Structure 1
Amino acid sequence: MNIDFSKSAHGLIPAIIQDSETKNVLMLGYMNAEAYQKTIDTQKVTFFSRSKQRLWTKGEESGNFLNLIDVKNDCDGDTLLIQAKPVGPTCHTGSDTCWQEPNNQEYGFISHLEKTITTRRENADSEKSYVASLFKLGINKIAQKVGEEAIEVVIEAKDDNDDLFLSESADLLFHYLILLQAKGFKLDNVINVLKSRQK
């Protein structure tokens, strides 16, 4: 990589640290050429500390290291995106990130949908909520509904109507997310099982 450390008077460039798995931004630090090389050599993210005026390996005192996974350079060659696997919290305050946010895995719209299901379940008194009504009927009804939707997906898969197939697939996924919560789980639990099967 052609990294341009000369753009700063002090030879420092920003290094954005991203969790390699969750893709959440954990912190921002600064590297000079020596810090970058030490990061590559030790596979532990190392910065140049502007306050201490020396190289500083994240976790050297706390044990909360950032194990290097990958490094990317931006289009101008003067900013690094470093993917790392954190060992413990990243922020000195004890937070997962320096923005005081939990480093949870998010799945975009699916995570939003899971939160909506949780909210509807917690407000089970709402007579207008389809989700709340399903939870009131109990696990057997929810499981039955998943089975019905799965059969409809299979039926539509054998036909040529893609719109119907996608619609039934959406219904199946929606009801499956409800079933997971009825059993006390989230999609994350299923994904962890899939990850454990990777070879």
Structure 2
Amino acid sequence: MVRAGAVGTHLPTSGLDIFGDLRKMNKRQLYYQVLNFAMIVSSALMIWKGLIVLTGSESPIVVVLSGSMEPAFHRGDLLFLTNFREDPIRAGEIVVFKVEGRDIPIVHRVIKVHEKDNGDIKFLTKGDNNEVDDRGLYKEGQNWLEKKDVVGRARGFLPYVGMVTIIMNDYPKFKYALLAVMGAYVLLKRES
């Protein structure tokens, strides 16, 4: 019987020694791994760009970040958007819009629409769970939104799927822990 600390025994590595694994690879294996990673990243980007073209929206998928639209949508719901310019905006429709001076788009319902004879449309929004309309959220002096402010219109959703994104933004350490676990899994899977 050999004890763990005895001379001549070798304990297996934990699979977390990434740089050791990289040093053991020959150049061909390393290039292969780099190419695989590049293919995954480029495939994801191509899928995202394809969704942008198909939906007409600069952000075809968004996560609801607040409870302002409850009970229709809850924090963490994943929304699927379209933004075809020829579709008119109507009262009751749920839109995602950007306001000048704010980085994060807002998901709210259109409550009033003003359409002029020349085709110009202005509209007012409000969160279903809010007491007042969104004029306080718009840039100073702005009372109405225009079609150019719309990122997309909600066409479907998956409940709570976006909670992972919210958790990773609210708790950055969780993001790094998740990446470490995924990296360890990949390395352990490769060794077996």
TM-score (norm: length of structure 2): 0.24
Structure holding more helix per residue: 1
- More RCO (CA 8 Å, sep 6+): 2
TM-score by length of 1: 0.24
